[in-house]
């Protein structure tokens, strides 16, 4: 974080906050990669340890379980991967072949093949990053400045997940837990 307020809130719950992100890396144009590089470099200084692997856990994806983290790390190490990304199947309602572009209140297909798609069964399965966690080698982060390379592996999560971006997402997450649709066990 770049916020003393959020750092103090975390400390109330026992979190360590060894450094804050500088203003330079707290703009709307700051990339996640830039913040990861900064966190890596500062952590190595503060803890006097050289890290080989970074594990990124996004707070906006609260339905992670221990086996997700273990699986991502195992996938990285056992396959000599540059990185591993947690993904979920993309809902076919969001498939690019079904997407439309609107200009001057006129619609057209986002993809040319969209006009030929008449049933969801015609669509290949696509995957989206779900934010549960990522693992990336230090070498990949510093040399490629990207999480996705030709040596990136997927860790598939097929259960319900939620990304918290606004209040309704929190309400939806609460509903899924209270109704039993989501069970947060390993």
Rounded distance between C-alpha atoms, residue 14 and residue 95, angstroms: 42
The residues spanned by each domain of the chain are: 52-88+125-177, 91-117
Which CATH number is correct for 52-88+125-177, 3.90.550.10, 3.40.50.410, 3.10.180.10, 1.10.150.450? 3.90.550.10
Rounded distance between C-alpha atoms, residue 157 and residue 115, angstroms: 31
173-183, pLDDT tens digit by residue?
999 999 999 88
83-126, pLDDT tens digit by residue?
999 999 998 888 888 899 999 999 999 998 888 888 888 888 99
39-85, pLDDT tens digit by residue?
999 999 999 999 999 999 998 999 999 999 999 999 999 999 999 99
């Amino acid at each position: 974080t770049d916020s003393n307020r959020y750092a103090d809130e975390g400390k109330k719950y026992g979190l360590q906050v060894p450094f804050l992100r500088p203003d330079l890396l707290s703009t709307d144009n700051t990339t996640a990669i830039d913040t990861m590089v900064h966190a890596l470099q500062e952590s190595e200084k503060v803890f006097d340890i050289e890290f080989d692997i970074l594990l990124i856990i996004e707070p906006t994806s609260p339905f992670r379980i221990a086996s997700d983290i273990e699986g991502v790390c195992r996938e990285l190490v056992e396959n000599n991967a540059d990185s591993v990304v947690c993904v979920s199947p993309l809902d076919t309602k969001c498939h690019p072949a079904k997407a439309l572009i609107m200009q001057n209140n006129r619609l057209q297909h986002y993809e040319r093949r969209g006009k030929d798609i008449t049933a969801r069964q015609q669509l290949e399965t696509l995957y989206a990053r779900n934010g549960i966690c990522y693992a990336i080698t230090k070498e990949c982060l510093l040399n490629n400045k990207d999480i996705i390379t030709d040596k990136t592996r997927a860790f598939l999560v097929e259960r319900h997940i939620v990304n918290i971006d606004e209040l309704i997402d929190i309400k939806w997450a609460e509903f899924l837990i209270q109704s039993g649709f989501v069970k947060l066990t390993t």
